[in-house]
Amino acid sequence: MRVPYLDLKALHDPIQNELNAIFHQVLEESYFVYGQQVTDFEKAFARRLGIDHCLAVGNCTDALFITLKMMGIGEGDEVIVPAMTWITDAEVVSNLGAQPVFVDVDSQTYTLDASKIEEKLTSRTKAIIPVHLYGQMADMMAIMEMAKVHDLKVIEDCAQSHFGQHHDRLAGTFGHAAVFSFYPTKNMGALGDAGCMVTHDERLYQDCRKWANHGAADKHSHEFPGGNSRMDTLQAAVLLLKLKYIDAWNKERIMLADNYGKAFSVLNDIEIPKTASENKHVFHVYNVLTKERDLLKKFLKEEGIQAQIHYPKALPFTEAYAHLNSKTSDFPVAHRMQEGGLSLPIFPGMKEIQQDYVIDKVMQFYKV
């Protein structure tokens, strides 16, 4: 048997007719940029989150860049970024001329360790970017409290946590702003690149909207040099459809994670993901920690199972940030994840026989 890490065809097959209707309609209307569906999606997504404003853009990296830029973050500023996340969160800060200041992640939730932030704050610190990694939210209560005390902006990275929750509140509703990715493999993915930022801050929203449209509120009134970042009409139409299914898909992920958790609980050599009691984890990634990570990955591959590593290098240890001369002991949890983390297949549409096969093979590897 072959079990891919993710099977987007299995996800899309059940909604193929609806997707075809969308393709047909978008082609009929031929309003490929700034079509009505973009506005409709922005309104629908904001409403689902209970947030005033949503700006649809080209991808999440753009959304974060634009948000930080319009918050005034730039040369000389410092921004707190978790040591273990996708590179977006650090590179965007660097590209603004500011400095990402890495903080280790928590050993239980793998998200920004709030207890280690304070020691990294300086007079130049302007913002914190908590990342709700793998689908579980960071300790937003503690982070927002700290931000209030030190007058810092908080931008949640929700790229992996669509409709995840913390104390019964949705991801993206805690910070001054939040960004989402709709990259095809995310819990809610487009059929190509797409992203958005959300905020209650009307002024910030208007500024970001202008930046994404060449510094203009309409076509030609350029108030400042901006750029171009837009969500295609087609992607917005697809995402509007997917809003109908995301809860069911997340439920499926949670169920699959639960099956893995029950099966692996008998294993001593594998650390399964833990969900903090105040969180609803939406399992974008099912990441286990094991000392035999490379051997397990190789064994699974030989048995037809595709596992992935998120991520092979914690950000301080990438070539991009090698100049900071970080030591392993500076980021012990992130380093442990880098060395031992393995993400097992999990996706809506994953069949019971596929998951049973993965479980059997993991058990076989540990000779249970």
Nearest to 284 by CA among 352, 170, 179, 189: 189
Cα maximum dimension of the chain: 68
Buried b (16+ CB within 10 A) or exposed e, 249-261: bbebbbebbebbe
Q: Which is nearer to ligand PLP, 175 or 362 (CB)?
A: 175
**Residue in 6, 54, 59, 147 binding ligand PLP, rule: CB under 6 A:** 59
Q: Under the criterion CB under 6 A, does residue 263 sit at the interface with ligand PLP? A: no
Q: Under the criterion CB under 6 A, does residue 345 sit at the interface with ligand PLP? A: no
Instruction: Round to whole Å and give the CA distance between 343 and 133.
Output: 12
Q: Which is nearer to ligand PLP, 64 or 300 (CB)?
A: 64
Q: Under the criterion CB under 6 A, does residue 354 sit at the interface with ligand PLP? A: no
Q: Which is nearer to ligand PLP, 131 or 282 (CB)?
A: 131
Q: Which is nearer to ligand PLP, 250 or 355 (CB)?
A: 250
Q: Under the criterion CB under 6 A, does residue 161 sit at the interface with ligand PLP? A: no
* Residue range at the interface with ligand PLP (CB under 6 A); choices 59-67, 76-84, 207-215, 339-347: 59-67
β-pairing, 341-344 vs 286-289, is antiparallel
Q: Under the criterion CB under 6 A, does residue 326 sit at the interface with ligand PLP? A: no
Question: What's the CA angle centered on 337, arms 334 and 338, to 5 degrees?
Answer: 85
The tokens describing 65, both together, are 């860049």
Q: Of 88-107, which residues contact ligand PLP (CB under 6 A)?
A: 88-89
* Residue range at the interface with ligand PLP (CB under 6 A); choices 86-94, 147-155, 199-207, 353-361: 86-94
Cα torsion angle, 137, 141, 142, 144, sign: positive
The tokens describing 340, both together, are 């031992």
Total interface residues for ligand PLP by CB under 6 A:
15
Instruction: Round to whole Å and give the CA distance between 74 and 120.
Output: 18
Helix 293-302 vs helix 352-365: crossing angle, to nearest 10: 130
Instruction: Round to whole Å and give the CA distance between 171 and 155.
Output: 11
Residue 225 C-beta: closest distance to ligand PLP, Å: 22
Q: Under the criterion CB under 6 A, does residue 60 sit at the interface with ligand PLP? A: yes
**Residue in 157, 207, 232, 252 binding ligand PLP, rule: CB under 6 A:** 157
* Residue range at the interface with ligand PLP (CB under 6 A); choices 43-51, 57-65, 97-105, 229-237: 57-65
CA 362 distance to own-chain centroid: 27
Nearest to 300 by CA among 258, 351, 353, 357: 357
Instruction: Round to whole Å and give the CA distance between 258 and 250.
Output: 12
**Residue in 54, 55, 159, 198 binding ligand PLP, rule: CB under 6 A:** 159
Q: What length is written for the chain?
A: 368
Residue 133 C-beta: closest distance to ligand PLP, Å: 7
Residue 77 C-beta: closest distance to ligand PLP, Å: 20
Q: Which is nearer to ligand PLP, 109 or 181 (CB)?
A: 181
Q: Under the criterion CB under 6 A, does residue 86 sit at the interface with ligand PLP? A: yes
Instruction: Round to whole Å and give the CA distance between 168 and 178.
Output: 17
Q: Under the criterion CB under 6 A, does residue 85 sit at the interface with ligand PLP? A: yes
Residues that bind ligand PLP in the complex, under the rule CB under 6 A: 59-61, 85-86, 88-89, 131, 157, 159-160, 181, 183, 193, 195
